[in-house]
Amino acid sequence: MSTPTALTQLQRLEAESIHIFRETASEGERPVLLFSGGKDSVVMLHLAAKAFWPAPIPFPVLHVDTGHNFPEVLEFRDRTVRDLHIRLEVASVQDYIDDGRLAERPDGTRNQLQTVPLLDAITEGRHDVVYGGARRDEEKARAKERIISLRDEFGQWDPRNQRPELWSLYNTRHRPGEHVRVFPLSNWTELDIWSYITEKGIDLPALYYAHEREVISRDGMWLAVGEHVSPREGESVERRTVRYRTVGDMSCTGAVESPAATAQEVLAEVMTSTLTERGATRADDRVSEAAMEDRKREGYF
């Protein structure tokens, strides 16, 4: 009689995420997966494909496009949905600005403008189960959230109104007008994500790896010079070898200096890091100690 083989940490995380996808998708009427083209959403999509194989992924992906996205990410997004034969839904922040439903922020960033287009897309698509790639280790507000996050009719999150999740039982019940956010990667860390990417050979946008780019130093971060970021008085443009730890609005997502050009090299780098990727490279999370929690209460990812 053979002895059962113990699962590795990554195998346990993978099995949990697949279980979450299968359980919640079976209870939802119109699920959708939030896909930014970033590493977490790429891993999440990979797990969704594995959860339902050999059938295709049974729901579309939704991208909230700020209009300030990295071109490499948009190209990767379009190629990925084409290769997987899944439907892409896009909620455009630029459309909301053009018709006056939203106004540009004084600082020029758009990450905080994503909430209204996101909630409208969920309502219009009648999506009752919305998958997100958030992880608990990313930020203090996300550490408070459970795998199933009930959102009210206004898309808002109440940290005091969370359901118990004993024995991996997930309650997706909600009233008409409400929906649930589901986070299959809740228990993963950045190190787990990169270990999985390395082990499975998962493709990512090229900007996650070391490349030369023109940047300026601002607020302790290297911001890419381009259409949406120009040097201010006293700032000088430098050419540096950098990579990105996270993907977001170009005007508030910083790069880190790094020679890591492969997944294995990034993994080794992450092992020695003492800052989360959002804490190190996202200016929008530095507005206040409660910046992320405030946005989550309003309906953010």
258-297 per-position pLDDT tens digit = 999 999 999 999 998 877 675 555 555 444 454 555 555 5
pLDDT digits (tens, 9 = 90+) for 107-166: 888 888 999 999 999 999 999 999 999 998 877 777 778 899 888 888 788 877 888 887
State how beta strands 211-218 and 238-243 pair. antiparallel
| Residue ranges per structural domain of the chain | 9-192+289-298, 205-272
- Percent of the chain residues past pLDDT 70, beyond the cut: 90
* Average pLDDT of the segment spanning 81-99: 95
Rounded CA gap, 204 and 151, in Å? 30
pTM, two decimal places: 0.88
* Average pLDDT of the segment spanning 2-18: 88
Residue that wins the pLDDT comparison between 184 and 229: 184
End-to-end CA distance of the chain: give it in Å, rounded.
48
Residue 47 near residue 14 (C-beta atoms within 8 A): yes
Rounded CA gap, 166 and 138, in Å? 23
Residue that wins the pLDDT comparison between 140 and 85: 85
Determine the pLDDT at residue 57.
97
Residue that wins the pLDDT comparison between 1 and 57: 57
DSSP string, 215-253: EEEETTEEEEPBTTB---TT---EEEEEE-SS---TTTB
Residues 6+ apart with CB under 8 A from 159: 144, 145, 293
Q: Which of 238, 206, 204 is nearest to 221 (CA)?
A: 238
Determine the pLDDT at residue 48.
98
Q: Which of 46, 6, 2, 55 is nearest to 26 (CA)?
A: 55
Determine the pLDDT at residue 51.
97
Residue 4 has pLDDT above 70, yes or no: no
pLDDT digits (tens, 9 = 90+) for 43-68: 999 999 999 999 999 999 999 999 99
Averaged confidence pLDDT in the chain: 88
Determine the pLDDT at residue 95.
95
Determine the pLDDT at residue 248.
81
26: left (phi over 0), alpha (psi -120 to 50) or beta: alpha
Q: Which of 96, 97, 135, 266 is nearest to 194 (CA)?
A: 266
* Average pLDDT of the segment spanning 248-264: 91
Kindly report the CATH number that applies to the domain delimited by 9-192+289-298: 3.40.50.620
Determine the pLDDT at residue 279.
57
Residue 221 has pLDDT above 60, yes or no: yes
Residue that wins the pLDDT comparison between 134 and 196: 196
Determine the pLDDT at residue 215.
93
Confidence at 90, pLDDT banded by 50, 70, 90: very high
Q: Which of 150, 147, 172, 135 is nearest to 246 (CA)?
A: 135
